[in-house]
Amino acid sequence: MMQQWPAPIAGNPVRARVPVPGSKSITNRALLLAALADGPSTLHAPLRSRDTLLMAAALRTLGAGVTDLADGGWLVEPAPLRGPAEVDCGLAGTVMRFLPPAAALADGELRFDGDPQARVRPMNTVLDALRALGAEITGDALPFTLHGGGRLAGGAVTIDASASSQFVSGLLLSGARYDNGVTVHHDGKPVPSLPHIEMTVQMLRAAGVSVDDSSANTWRVEPGPVRATRWRVEPDLSNATPFLAAAAATGGRVTVPHWPTETDQAGDAIRGILAQLGCAVELTDAGLTVTGPDRLSGVDIDLHDVGELTPTVAALAVLADGPTWLRGIAHLRGHETDRLAALAAEINGLGGDAEEIEDGLVIRPRPLRGGPWRAYADHRMATAGAIIGLVVPGVVVDDVGSTAKTIPDFPGMWARMLDPEVHSGHRAEVS
């Protein structure tokens, strides 16, 4: 049952300190690397949400041990991966693109499937690449079956990764365990979300894997062991953005504690984006503090590297006093939903003016009215509706439960952010 959620209006400028859960991207990379490692690894402060629980469940199905630690972390004990197994990818790009390259090392038959919307997300690039590297696979999208032989030759492969950086990351993450390692060469329009590939490379190096990324569009992973590692997961900076946006939208002030001073997370780019929109942005020992202006400015911005921030930025653009161009994000048509079409439809449904262009969106200021906001099973569409609903009375998000993909309790966190008692210290803060 979809949960209709009347987005709460912010009566006053939002003032809050909002701790956010761990990074999806780091958690799912760490889980996978831990399952391929030469001994037990631990994850501390991992994200426990649908996407990461699906990754943990899939690795267990393939034979790895993933057990809960008392501090909320995970202990991962590698074991030879084996089938037969059924893997549920849900709607998680990081499961459907990262796991098959690891599963290609398994012995036995592995069947992959996911949510109905996952069946239309681009997959053939990764499956064709695995075939070229020696795997036997039936199918070109979810559902598909991998017939594992217990090892993979690996070697060099050329792919077109312009639809998703995850095609590259997926192959690199498992490549050290292939007989010949892997060399991935990209040939096509520019690869989106490059910071996510940088995160993959840095995490591989942290696990002792040798990676050469010295030439543009080519990544070489040498064969060798993946070292057991103690992974500490940073807060999810992309998931922090709706909360920071609450300050931006209401002229308030929001602090997200434990914001890393150095990070490979794409979400860190929100600092510069919010500054362009007119916010004051300060990174101190207390965390990242954003103070919203009286009026937000429109922006002309390329989000090619940080496409997952688009729904948050689009929600703020709707509230700005000038037009906004969001460019470089044609690949968002293959995200959880076609995010360009979805954002345009929902913004226009509230009386706004959003136009889909070939590689993005143009959003022009127009007074908004309340009404339904569809999430399309997309966590970031739901949180975008929540941002607009802070200042436009009567916005009702049709599926706030979709936020569980990457945030365990978004409605609770949002309510606490808006509760002045919590922030005056009269009620306990809960992260």
Ligand X SMILES: O=C(O)C1=C[C@@H](OP(=O)(O)O)[C@@H](O)[C@H](O)C1
Catalytic residue positions?
308
Member of 31, 92, 361, 384 binding ligand PEP (CB under 6 A): 92
Residues in 118-137 that interact with ligand PEP by CB under 6 A: none
Nearest-angstrom CA–CA distance, 197 and 204? 11
- When binding is defined by CB under 6 A, the residue of 268, 305, 308, 338 that contacts ligand PEP is 308
What's 297's DSSP letter? P
335 binds ligand PEP (CB under 6 A): yes
- Cα–chain center distance at 415: 23
In the complex, what is the shortest distance from the CB of residue 93 to ligand PEP, in angstroms, rounded to a whole number?
2
Contacts of 357 (CB under 8 A, 6+ apart): none
Burial class of 30 by CB neighbour count within 10 A (0 to 12, 13 to 18, 19+): buried
Looking at this protein, which amino acid is placed at residue 300?
A: D
Cβ proximity to ligand PEP: between 247 and 384 the closer is 384
Applying CB under 6 A, what is the total number of residues that bind ligand PEP?
A: 8
Closest distance between ligand X and the C-beta of residue 198, in Å? 10
- Nearer of residues 167 and 292 to ligand X, judged by Cβ: 167
User: How many CA atoms, within 13 angstroms, populate the side-chain half-sphere of residue 251?
Assistant: 7
SS3 209: coil
Q: Toward ligand PEP, which CB reaches closer, 125 or 406?
A: 406
Binding residues for 3-phosphoshikimate: 24-25, 29, 164-166, 193, 308, 335
Name the site residues for ligand X (rule: CB under 6 A): 25, 93-94, 164-166, 169, 192-193, 196, 307-308, 331
Question: How far apart are the C-alpha atoms of 431 and 427, rounded to whole Å?
Answer: 13
| DSSP letter for each residue of 140-164 | SSSSEEEEEES----EEEEE--TT-
Between 250 and 383, name the residue whose CB sits nearer to ligand X: 383
Partner that binds at residue 196, options ligand X, ligand PEP, none, CB closer than 5 to 8 Å by kind? ligand X
Contact of residue 380 among ligand X, ligand PEP, none (CB under 5-8 Å per partner type):
ligand PEP
Smaller CB separation from ligand PEP, 13 or 334? 334
Residues 6+ apart with CB under 8 A from 129: 157, 159, 167, 171, 184
Say if residues 236 and 22 touch (Cβ distance below 8 Å).
Answer: yes
Site string for ligand PEP, 393-412 (x = CB under 6 A): -------------x------
Residues near ligand PEP, by CB under 6 A: 92-94, 308, 335-336, 380, 406
